[in-house]
Amino acid sequence: MSNPTRRPINIPIRVEVAAPKSAPTGAHPHHHEHAAHEDASACCSHDDCCAPGDVTVPVNTASAQAAPEGADRVRFRIDKMDCPTEERLIRNRLEPMAGVVRLDFNLIARELTVFHQLKDASTLAVALTELDMAPTLLEVGQKAAPLPQAVPLHMKLQLAVAGVAALVAEVLDWREAPLWGVALAASLAVALSGGPTLKKGWIALRNFTLNIYFLMTLAVVGAVLIGKWSEASMVIFLFAVAEAIEAASLEHARKAIQSLSALAPDTVNVWRQGQWQSVPVEAVAEGERMMVRAGERIGLDATVLKGPAALNEAPITGESMPVDKQTGDLLFAGSIVVDGVVEAQVTATAGHSTLARIAAAIQEAQAQRAPTQRFVDQFARYYTPSVVVLALLVAVLGPWLAGGGAMHWVYQALVMLVIACPCALVVSTPVTVVSGLANAARQGILIKGGVHLEQGRLIKAVALDKTGTLTAGRPTLTDVITLQRYNAQNALRIAASLDQHSSHPIAQALVAAWRERDPHGALAPVEHFDVLAGRGVKGRLLDQHWQLGNHRLVEELGLCSPELEARLETLEIQGKTAFVLLDEQGAVAILAMADTLRAESRQAIEALNALHVKAVMLTGDNQATAEHIARQAGISEVRGNMLPADKLDAINQLVQVHGAVGMVGDGVNDAPALARATVGIAMGAAGTATALETADVAIMDDDPRKVAQFIRLSQATSRVLKQNIALALGIKAVFLALALGNHATLWMAVFADMGASLLVVFNGLRLLRLKA
């Protein structure tokens, strides 16, 4: 059963598993499970991800957003593009041009990216200038200047004077003053408030685009032609006021997104020339040493050199409690030092920090068109011409079918045109989606597009990885059971020697356990180190060959005696992961590791159950260990001993049963399952660039409760989208009926259209205040 919304492409990701003999690196393959780890080499627990060389995993194209093959790219800042109406006008002009491949719009940032095969891209700027869009070409990597205020002071003054003039025109008309006086006051109101609207209406007409500005211009010109000067002035004034309020509301959503980029300071204290100097963040190189005092923000991603310190990481991870940082811990740009002074080594320059990647991902995400937005745009494309035709029929056939003067029916047709404008319908979806994305980012949940934000509500089952997701991902050595010839300390030294170059958490924990027991001891050098894919590692030390592997390896070697089998089963029933150290004569010792359940995991499962979402654990650990952890977490369905291909098959089965399925993993090792799931969710993505790139949704910290938060936010977004569509169409239907019954005026028509627009915008902005 395929998922029509996901079109995976294959992108090669190198997974190093067999390191050079002189410096063996890689994961720890004798453990089936994995943990969230930035190093791609951590994925060496399974057969199909442990073969030497390149491994190809599917990555969702919706997340990748790759440029079309063979196309150049040019980016424009469009100062006069602030709503979907302008987007449609630009599409109608540029898409038919020969050589234009694709247009990507970012309405919030007012940017347009054109993928093209043109010899001279200046024709694009000319076309945009002819549309009066005020384009500015942006060079590669160039940041656009800050956007101007949505409603500047001079515009507010103009609107105030225009409102007075329109009101004067209405009073004069009501008192039956001479027509020239009414026309003079009305003309002043139109000149002060209607210039941009009338100009955009004329441009739309020249480009054969039926949009809100064309319909409003038609209504105003028509009202003037039939002598309704006062109504024409009030219509254009009210429309301008509504446009200004709408622009201010959109600016609020824009600032919610841009505030993420403003979290990092402009300067940092860097050690240069024997002293601390304040340096712009853009001028700081990777590897430099910086200092941050209490109350200051971290300017760049870094690793702690001197601490300790307590940091508020809420801007990145959404975690409200301060996090203690010790030497070697990661620091994220935008975090705040709550207590202490920290010195750290910069690990990423300003443009490549975690904060910069988050801001860039959200900018790209809100530029993508959500399913509801695509539906609304398609609906409006056919709806608007249909209404124009209907209004024309009313003007022409009204006198013949129902009697009355021709001017009366022309007036009713104009009322219908204003009422039927699709502005409220079109503007409702992008504002709602952007608000949802910004709210999620504040909670430490990065959603890679409106399509994933909408799909979250459909999830009926969630498959969760164990290590690093439900458990802490920090295994500790619990048992060293010797079987023959070697004591526990010697057996542990040999095992640690085999694992000393591995970066996998299991290997690090084993080596750390040996160092705690023998701080001054030395590990033995290893020759001919090799990885036994999905089973263990081997190497030569102390003049003989050694293997360190899991239960499966022992069985394949035919060395699993009843006594050894019983010991392994006992450890596994206790929820421990056991592996065996073997020399040339057989099993020497059993070592066991245990990982503890996160404090939040049980709450996370309870939250999913409350949403009627089934939780399933998929893990490479043995079934007994998996069931032990699952019982603690409250999960009823557990599937252990799973390789990546098995997890992919499990997701396929869950999709067939439940329809929409979420997969929660680390974004690297579970890539096939994450790509196949309806929504792939990466845990602990703040420390892993790969997770930010591969997942549909990235939870910046390690809190599994945010999976349910994401689903709840998706459900809330869906409700608001439906409310907005119902509001927009319902209000129009009511006033359209009034117009057909001769009970509506142009005033009412403007209130119906602009009132609906403001209602849906304000309703969409409510998502910014939605609590976790």
Residues 8 and 60: their CA atoms lie apart, in Å, by 5
Tokens of 315: 């801007």
Q: What whole-number distance in Å separates Cα of residue 517 and Cα of residue 479? A: 13
Q: Kindly state the DSSP code that residue 49 receives in the 8-state scheme.
A: G
Sheet holding 267-272, edge to edge: 275-280, 267-272, 289-292, 342-346, 302-306, 330-331
Tokens 């033995």 found at: 524
CB 314 within 8 A of CB 320: yes
Residue-level length of the chain: 772
Give strand pairing partners of 461.
614, 661
Is the Cβ–Cβ distance between 663 and 677 less than 8 Å?
yes
Asked if residue 448 lies in contact with residue 61, where contact means CB atoms within 8 angstroms, the answer is no
User: Which two three-digit tokens encode residue 184?
Assistant: 């003079």
* One-letter amino acid of 357: R
Q: DSSP letters of 610-661?
A: HTT-EEEEE-SS-HHHHHHHHHHHT--EEE-S--HHHHHHHHHHHHHHHSSE
Q: Which of 465, 530, 621, 646 is catalytic?
A: 465
Closest CA to 579 of 537, 522, 623: 537
Give the C-alpha separation, 45 to 504, whole Å: 10
Residue 499 catalytic? Answer: no
Structure tokens given for 115: 């993928």
| 367 φ, ψ (degrees, to nearest 5) | -80, -20
d(CA 538, CA 555): 16
Dist. CA 601–CA 204, nearest whole Å: 55
Backbone angles phi, psi at 94, to 5 degrees: -90, -35
How far apart (Å, rounded) are the C-alpha atoms in residues 537 and 498? Answer: 7
Q: Is 533 helix (H, G, I), strand (E, B) or coil?
A: coil
Q: Quick one: which of 299, 290, 246 has its CA closest to 270? A: 290
Q: Are 599 and 592 in contact (CB under 8 A)?
A: no
Beta strands at 679-682 and 661-665: parallel, antiparallel or unpaired: parallel
DSSP reduced 3-state for 375: helix
Residues with catalytic function: 465
